[in-house]
Amino acid sequence: MNLAMTSCLRLRSYAKINWTLEVMDRRPDGYHELRTIYQSVSLYDTIRLSASPGKIEVSCDDARVPGDESNLAYRAANSLREVVGSRAGALIEIQKRIPVGGGLGGGSSNAAVTLLGLSALWKLEISNEALSEMAAKLGSDVPFFLVGGTALGTGRGEIVSPIEQADCPFILLVNPGFSVSTADAYGKLSRLTRRASTSIMPFALMAANGVRGLPHQARNDLEQAVLPAHPEIAEVKRRLLGMGARTTLMSGSGATVFGVFDNCETLSKALEDVRAIGYRADQVRTISRLEYWDSIFE
């Protein structure tokens, strides 16, 4: 695509899961210190960016997504204008496929992709470092979506380091039909686990083995706060294990749960059974960094 000659762009805004999410001490700024392994997966929203004179507008085909200044994509566009001193405008149209408030980073992904797309649409010369700084101010997950693939997240999640790619072709995402407040999830944590240091060795081995070690490595500390308040999530995990999943875990602060399967046949049967129960379910696979960057701009 010749980005220099277009006034309209279509981009893929991919979802993420967390292979692991460890919550440590509360920081002076009120956030918690985290250690997480982010992973891009093949489910994505579609974002259409069009040049517009002087103002930013956001529309979405999902009524739950705000179209005002509280929308993360809107905030990303406005932040970009302020940093570069531009008065350019844009229409941001979001076609939603990622569950809203589902722990899959949909809003954060939309924000990051908007930064990337508008940088091209407005023909800006802006460094990756500047984009990362803007992303970190927008939200803890946003910087990951400027990296993609498999990555280690530290700090409050905004310090992102690429690691060896995990390759997993058989993942089922199941959403029980409601969202979970991230702030509430952290607020309800009954106990914080201290970690002396961050070590990526187990996760590098996990990636090299095609996530065969995942049942032994996977953890999400937020489950201890979220599952008692939302037993439906625990029920989804139980059902997926009964349907043949090798492991299940809540992604982020929920409510989406992912199950890792060994083959397409078992996953397909689980997908059929989960949908028959009435849950939202999507078959996905991991996306490498190379594929992520090759496919963002459609």
Q: What positions carry a catalytic annotation?
A: 16, 141
201 close to 163: Cβ distance less than 8 angstroms: no
Per-residue three-class SS string for 195-251: CCCCCCHHHHHHHHCCCCCHHHHCEECCHHHHHHHCHHHHHHHHHHHHCCCCEEEEC
Quick one: angle between helices 106-121 and 128-138, nearest 10? 140
Burial of 216 (0-12, 13-18, 19+ CB in 10 A): exposed
CA distance 14 to 2: 22
CA distance 273 to 21: 28
Q: Which helix (H) or strand (E) holds 130?
A: helix 128-138
Q: Which helix (H) or strand (E) holds 259?
A: strand 257-260
Q: Are strands 32-52 and 159-162 parallel, antiparallel or unpaired?
A: unpaired
CA distance 292 to 147: 9
Give which of 80, 8, 81 is closest to 48, Cα–Cα.
8
CA distances from 184 to 187, 189, 199, 225, 226 (A): 5, 9, 28, 9, 9
